[in-house]
Amino acid sequence: MGMAHGSLDLHVQRWSQTGEFKAKGWNKFGWYISLMVFTFGLFYFFPVLTTLLFLVLTAIHFGEADRVHAIECFGNTSCIPKSWAWFRGSFVVALPSIFFTQQTWEPFYYLSQVSFNSTINNVITSFGFVLIAATFVIAIYDSLKNKINWSSGLVIAFLFESILCFFWFVYLPPLIAIGGYFLAMHSTKHMFRLSRFKQKNFDNTATFKDVLRLHLDAACLSVPAYIVVVLWSVFIKAPIVPSLAYASIGFYLISTLPHHILVAKIPVRPSSRKGFSKNKLPKFFTIIPILSNFGVKGSSHNAFTTAPNDGVVGSSQIE
């Protein structure tokens, strides 16, 4: 289900100009490329610092995507603080940094040629502990500050999935854990969300047909991305498969910032459980009701045909 990171951003950019949401300052895609070039230059001169900033942004980006997806599937049945998303996202980078420190730095060694040593080990390990501890404390504070409906399906599903993610990143090596999470969860959730925009042009189509169309739409950016990754891998002194993996991580490093800013402009549209149509989903989604709510609503319901201010929550990641 996954695709190259940010491959649909050109279409999101176009929707931001002509659709229901506006991404101010993104009237030219050159800004997107400029931020990628800037990040690459920052990594070239300050590889360790840039890597740590990238890991923090990755935690925020992944966690927010999971939170927004849950809200759009379940509706506003309860409050999920943003700090919960940050704590959830910290699993992706903090746990590998703590339990697999050398393996965590290995891709960035091949990208920057900064060797793993005791200093790097202490920096990466300390970073992991600080990130997960800080986000945990903030999440606890928000939980006490806000009224959480602990019995709601939204909270139960989010916490259950978070527990699975925790053990996923504790017991699997970083490349397998992050790669599997990115393709099976993060990228797929993005496509389910964007497929609803696609339904504005193709009414009453099946969800998976919309997702297929998204893959075709992504070709204009995914093909150049694959070319960049392949060319970058040539200069990485590692076997073929690892060099492609490390080059891919390098591409994520330089593209996550503009991708995060652009995706953050998409409004959150909480769905109404009354309008949830189970018969529009594949049968395996309807076995357990709570799992069906974590899927995508039937294509006959277009979440984006209502008035722009109907049930819209503020921008998901940057306010």
**186 vs 1, 41, 57, 68, 307, CA distance in Å?**
10, 27, 14, 11, 28
Residues of the chain with pLDDT under 70: 1-5, 18-22, 24-27, 76-78, 197-207, 269-319
Distance in angstroms (rounded) separating the CA atoms of residues 212 and 215 = 5
Q: What is the predicted pLDDT for the residue at 19? A: 66
**Coil, strand or helix at 27:** coil
CA angle 29, 92, 237 (to 5 degrees): 70
Residues 6 or more apart whose CB falls under 8 angstroms from that of 69 comprise: 189, 192, 193
Cα 189 versus chain centre, distance: 8
Residue closest to 68 by CA, chosen among 208, 271, 307, 207: 271
- Dihedral in degrees, nearest 10, Cα atoms 246, 224, 41, 50: -40
Residue closest to 246 by CA, chosen among 107, 109, 112: 107
- Dihedral in degrees, nearest 10, Cα atoms 249, 39, 63, 68: -110
Residues 250-271: pLDDT tens digits?
Answer: 999 999 998 888 887 777 766 5
Phi, psi of 50 (to 5 degrees): -65, -40
Kindly report the length of the chain: 319
Helix (H) or strand (E) holding 118: helix 118-145
Residues 35-72: pLDDT tens digits?
Answer: 999 999 999 999 999 999 999 999 999 888 888 888 87
**pTM > 0.85: yes or no:** no
Longest pairwise C-alpha distance within the chain: 58
Query: In this structure, what token pair is assigned to residue 20?
Result: 């229901």
Q: What is the predicted pLDDT for the residue at 202? A: 53
Q: What is the predicted pLDDT for the residue at 232? A: 94
Q: What is the predicted pLDDT for the residue at 271? A: 56
**82 vs 135, 162, 256, CA distance in Å?**
10, 14, 19
Distance in angstroms (rounded) separating the CA atoms of residues 254 and 252 = 6
Query: For residue 243, with 0-12 CB atoms within 10 Å meaning exposed, 13-18 middle and 19 or more buried, which class applies?
Result: buried
